[in-house]
Amino acid sequence: MTVSQTTRFQIYTWDSGGDKFTRSQMTSSHSSIDTLASGFIQGGSLPAASAARQGFFHYSSTDGTVGTLSYCNGSAWFTIGGFGSVSQLDGVSANGSATTYARSDHKHSFGASIVGTSQLIDNSITLAKMQINSVDTGKLVDESVTQAKLANTSTVGGAAVGTSQIQDGAVTNAKVASGIDASKLTTGTLPIARIGTESITNGRIAPYTIQGDRLVNGAIGTDQIGNGQITTAKLQTGANATVDTDQIRSLAVTTGKIRDEAVTNGKIYPGTIENDRIKNSTINADDKLADGTVTNVKLASGIDAGKITVGTLDANRIGSNAIDSVRLQDDAVITDKILDYNVTADKLATGAVIAAKLGTGAVIEAKIGTGAVTADKIGTNAVTSVKIASGNVTDTHLASSGLDISKFTAGTLNEARLSANVSTVSRTYTNTAGTVGAGPRIVFSSNAPSNSDGEALGTIYLQI
């Protein structure tokens, strides 16, 4: 048997029907088909690109309409020969890099000014290529329009060129022959720019035709004015007066030339009026002195305070420490004029701080001197038990009599607390249960005053 492989896909083939077929040969053949064969999908959207679609083609159309052919490389789809947009011709050659193609009936437009002289073949612009009125004066070489170029026309009496044949502005100065009649110019259309410099002589000007507004300022000098021709009537007055300072001779304006009250403030040079020129009592303070003109240096010493308007002298006008005690009226310094904490101890007179001046709770412990609270300063029943320190009530503080036995804690008064003149008799008792206990003691005290007979008195009491 003879085993061979196909040229395109390398698939195994055998000459005889009884030839055996191995697994490796089948695997090799399938791999060759999978690797070398192409797939094809028609219609619908492009499937997602993947390794399973590698080598596949997709055609979007399923009918007679022109579709788009795409190819997948396993990771992306690429359009093969899709239709692109027509570009405009710009006169520049280029190979291009687009992957799209153009339809057979496509057209290109020309960009502006891409056809120049170098793109035109000599004699290629014929009469049919030219628009009407496209050739103006600028396009014609001087003297290039000969008689032979002009056609005869019956509409203008046999003349070759009529008004309709001449483009506006085409007849330049070079085209116009000399000797043009002035009647060809429309009245009032010749502007000054068309008249040559100094071309209008005296003979061209009609007598008495030049008015004042035709003269340039400063055009008439002394030579043009006859002697004695400027009369009073020729001189302007008011704001347009023509006689200036330079026209008046020095010292020519005498007193007689100056009208009464004609010399105003603006006519007087600053600083020229001296003291002897001012008449006594002529300066009225009400209307002759400008506000603020009387400065400090103009005032003599000793100005009376009555010259100062009441209420106009503020704090800024008063010197430091200028107001002493003799300047203050009685009761002039009120509470809101005193800065906080500025009334010190040396400012207070002896005995000035009375009880009415002290606020509630103002006298604290630190303000009371040692030993300053005497008995007459303590109110009745003001010293309570909590105000007395422990152990501070001694024998001298107790009255000689009148201390009630109820003031002693039960069981705290023993024999040690009794004086030498006090004797006791102890007694015992037996309760119902037969218990013997200490009973009350009978106390006799001979520490007592004598009676009127000189006999000593004693006191007997029962100590519980």
Residue 402 has pLDDT above 60, yes or no: no
Measuring CA to CA, which residue among 40, 35, 62, 63 is closest to residue 51? 35
% of the chain residues with pLDDT over 90:
3
pLDDT of residue 49: 93
Share of the chain above pLDDT 70, in %: 81
320, 326, 327, 332: CA torsion to nearest 10: 110
Round the average pLDDT of the chain to a whole number and report it.
Answer: 77
User: Distance (Å, rounded) from C-alpha 444 to C-alpha 457?
Assistant: 10
Q: How many Å apart are CA 21 and CA 29, to the nearest integer?
A: 11
In this prediction, residues 174-192 reach a mean pLDDT of: 80
Extents of the domains making up the chain: 3-80, 403-463
What is the helix (H) or strand (E) element at residue 36, kind and residue range?
helix 23-36
Task: Please tell me the distance from the alpha carbon of residue 72 to that of residue 57, in angstroms, as a whole number.
Answer: 7
Phi, psi of 39 (to 5 degrees): -105, 165
Q: Which long-range contacts (CB under 8 A, 24 or more apart) does 245-250 make?
A: none
264 pLDDT above the threshold of 60: yes
**The model's pTM:** 0.25
Task: Note the pLDDT tens digit of each residue in 231-258.
Answer: 877 777 766 666 777 778 888 888 888 8
How would you class 46 by CB atoms within 10 Å of its CB: exposed for 0-12, middle for 13-18, buried for 19 or more? middle
Is 137 within 8 Å of 172 (Cβ atoms)?
A: yes
pLDDT for 280: 78
Query: Is the pLDDT confidence value at 358 over 60?
Result: yes
Query: Is it the case that residue 447 has pLDDT exceeding 60?
Result: no
Distant-in-sequence, close-in-space partners of 386: CB < 8 Å, separation ≥ 6: none
Per-state percent for the chain, helix, strand, coil, to nearest 5: 25, 10, 65
Residue 176, Cα to own-chain centre: how many angstroms?
A: 69
